[in-house]
């Protein structure tokens, strides 16, 4: 029975890690607004896992409040990833917040004039639920990793996996040839930083 329980715990942990990684590595399914999963890896997931492991080793695992905040931040990262890959795939360029945001009122006015009010209202209500729908599984995944990291054996495994991802990322940055589809995607935080620099430049 204990072996079955251990196998279940490892399976849940693997599923949680796969979910976190998939949330920041998906690509656009051209020419649609849908996405497809990839075999790529995320540096941000590796760093987050290492931070949880370090906290667990010091007997200070993230509290439920911290995990909720982290899950909310993860939602922001996931939305940023979606906007970035979708815009580059469909429009062939990055989003320009300064210039593109100016067109939003016109687009909204056009939709409100041609679409039925109930359709506009239902669309807005549906979009407002998207962050919550995304948040719940991410909060579960982060909690699963946190709870599992209390086990020293799990911490060693997580450290090895996260460290391997970081090594792959460094090797990729140095131009070292990597086997097969082994690839680390651009961090979403770097995308947000690039947008912030571009927005600041446009304003100035």
Question: What's the alpha-carbon Rg for the chain, to the nearest Å?
Answer: 20
Helix (H, G, I), strand (E, B) or coil at 89: helix
Beta bridge partners of 41: 184
pLDDT at 198 over 60: yes
Domain of 189, in residue numbers: 2-203
pLDDT at 187 over 90: yes
Nearest to residue 135, comparing CAs of 61, 201, 69? 69
* pLDDT band per the 50, 70, 90 thresholds, residue 116: low
The region of weakest confidence among 66-75, 92-101, 110-119, 121-130 is 110-119
Rounded Cα gap, residues 112 and 204, in angstroms:
33
The count of structural domains within the chain is: 1
Task: Compute φ and ψ for 106, nearest 5 degrees.
Answer: -65, -40
**CB within 8 A of 113, min separation 6: which ones?**
none
pTM for the predicted model, two decimal places: 0.85
Helix (H, G, I), strand (E, B) or coil at 25: coil
pLDDT at 33 over 90: no
**CB within 8 A of 120, min separation 6: which ones?**
111, 112
pLDDT in tens, 138-161: 999 999 999 999 999 999 999 999
Rounded Cα gap, residues 67 and 44, in angstroms:
15
């Amino acid at each position: 029975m204990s072996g079955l329980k251990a196998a279940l715990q490892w399976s849940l942990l693997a599923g949680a890690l796969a979910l976190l990684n998939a949330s920041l590595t998906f690509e656009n399914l051209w020419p649609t607004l849908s996405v497809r999963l990839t075999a790529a890896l995320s540096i941000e997931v590796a760093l987050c896992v290492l931070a949880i492991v370090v906290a667990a080793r010091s007997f200070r695992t993230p509290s439920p409040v911290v995990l909720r905040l982290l899950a909310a931040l993860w939602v922001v990262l996931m939305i940023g990833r979606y906007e970035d890959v979708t815009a580059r795939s469909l429009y062939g360029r990055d989003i320009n917040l300064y210039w593109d945001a100016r067109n939003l009122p016109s687009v909204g006015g056009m939709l409100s004039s041609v679409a039925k009010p109930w359709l506009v209202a239902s669309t807005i209500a549906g979009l407002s639920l998207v962050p919550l729908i995304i948040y719940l599984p991410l909060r579960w995944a982060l909690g699963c990793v946190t709870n599992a990291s209390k086990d020293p054996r799990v911490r060693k495994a997580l450290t090895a996996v996260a460290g391997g991802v970081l090594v792959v990322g460094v090797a990729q940055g140095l131009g070292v040839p990597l086997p097969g589809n082994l690839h680390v995607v651009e961090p979403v935080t770097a995308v947000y930083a690039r947008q912030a620099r571009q927005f600041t430049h446009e304003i100035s």
